[in-house]
Structure 1
Amino acid sequence: MSAPDPHAQIQELRQQLQSLLEAAHDNERKLDRFDALERRLMAVSSMEELVTLLLVECRDDFGLDAAELWLLDPEGELRRALPTLPMAKAPRLLEHHGPLKDIFGAVRTTRLVGPGHGEDLVAQAFEPGAGMRSAALLPLIRQGLLIGSLHFGARDPERYDAVSGTKFLDRLCAIAAIAIESMLNRERLRRAGMTDGLTGVHNRRYFDHRSLIEFSQAVRHRYPLACLFLDVDHFKAVNDRHGHQVGDEVLRQVGGLILRSLRTGDLAARYGGEEFVVLLPRTDLAGAREVAERIRALVQDAPFVTPEGGTLSATLSAGLAMLPAGAVSFAELLTAADRALYAAKRAGRNRTVAHGDDTGAAAA
């Protein structure tokens, strides 16, 4: 039996040492990238910035082929907020825990999946046809509750191996969950400051601010701007006959019907009491009248459900005005819509009247 070659042993040890050094340097680079990412996550100031960081910049920085963010949104608060944000990629909003349970089951820990170790989960975690072969699935947990998940995907089936460590990923998902919860709370506070708590439409304060912006844009770019004043007919009688709790419920449901009738970019607000105001940018007279009539018909046909389970009917009157040529202030448009509303009231209610209508009584 020949003696071991000392030179070959030294060479092998050098190779092993070099491999260890390369692995250490690689881990150090990963740690630096994760540390930089964590710092940026803790410093984000908006939901748009957070989503872009997780879904676009993470993918680019870590050489991923795909990134997905799922967020639980049973009350629809994110669904109402996120469509207004100009994001390069949007998260998937979940109405219930079902999709999260399918992925994590009862064990809510980071999962590395791929061929032979959960490849069916790879297909569930990404859009159909994405072509991912392996993935890291990160649960987002705050205060013991699963609020969503973050998915990193690769076309390389060996990128995420089941036996690999998940220390960096575990820390990342913990930091990401904190950042997401912080942004959700900030968004809730922001919306609370600009939303009418009863009806769900914007409040007067927000309308006063936003209307000046819409007015300025319409004048500068010379596009039409329509304004609707909407008032629930005989609302005092509803309160007197059924009580203020029922009156509040009618207003809440009217607010929902108004929101259902508008496009993204339109603005609805509770102006005061039972009166609502709507701004319709880039909408001509015919289009604005159509919106007003749609809202009026929805309210007229709706069975308003009372807290006791009964129903009652209600109607509303609508005043419509278009931004006049050469207008120097938004108040001109608002005043014209308000006058049209009073014309609708005088003409018998439950109708739409546009400022300048000859009869003062458009379709009832």
Structure 2
Amino acid sequence: MFAIATRTKSPMAAATLLFVVAFLCLSLHHAEGQIGVCYGNNGNGLPSQQEVVNLYKTNSIGAMRIYSPDVATLQALQGSGIKTIIDVPRDNLQSLASDQGAANQWVQSNVVPFASAIKYIAVGNEIHPSDQEASSVQPAMQNVLNALNSNNLGAQIKVSTAIDTTLITNSFPPSNGQFSDTSYITPIINFLTSNGSPLLVNVYPYFAYTNNEQAISLEYALFTSPGKVVTDPNNGKDYQNLFDALVDAVYAALARAGAPNTPIVVSESGWPSEGGDAATSDNAGTYYKNLISHVKQGTPLKGQGIETYLFAMFDEDRKQGAATEQHFGLFTPAQQPKYGQLNFT
């Protein structure tokens, strides 16, 4: 990653170079383990965008994910030091895939004025191979990257898409993980590897647990198991929590698809406090606290910190779907923490 000269003029220069390289590597490690928080605003009585950015800063939250290019949020982020994942909404995918001009305009309007605050562009969220928009994801990714390159932003802002773990089959043991539809995912993976982009993955041990409570213990899902729960017979790796097993199943799938070095960014992970089985404030607080401390060390398969975005900043009482969908917030609309003072750094 770093180009290092093979000659130095003095021992002092050599020592200085080694210090710089060590510092850069340490900084990279911390960046990989960074904690961000997703900011959805589908709720009543939520703070203004500027108040939200101030709340991030007050709590030392250095990264955000937003699900549409909300201008007021992007304006409030300017100069904040907070880096952002910005989504291309589902209903924009087909136009951006079919028309380079539309992609150019989208980037010109939503990215260029705010580029200093944007780290990733997620072209679609949890698009499945059977969805009408599936064939548009990779072409839209390419057209968005073309537009970034035309504005000299292609090296600064990485283009990806966010998947969920239902795209992985044979996930137990983790080393058996593979993508269920290679015709959909292969062009996306080829794009990521060609452009040095990570794969964004939404990882929810809560749903894996509630869908299979007979086989999965609550402690395994909440990071509270006292020791190893699963040993992968294929590689001898021990698993003490479900989060690691889910992430490593995606890493295994990437390796099977010919992309063993593609990094993963966990673009969502959370636990609801109401609305379903095991959805309590105690469980949610336990999950978030343990997740924050755990992702710095990485998984058994990849011993490096994982950039992770907690879902979500606020409860969203206007969200449709299961009752749990309204109760993933870390803060109340009055900006009070629901689970005590989490250490986001």
Q: Could you state the TM-score of these two structures normalised by the residue count of structure 1?
A: 0.24
Higher radius of gyration, 1 or 2: 1
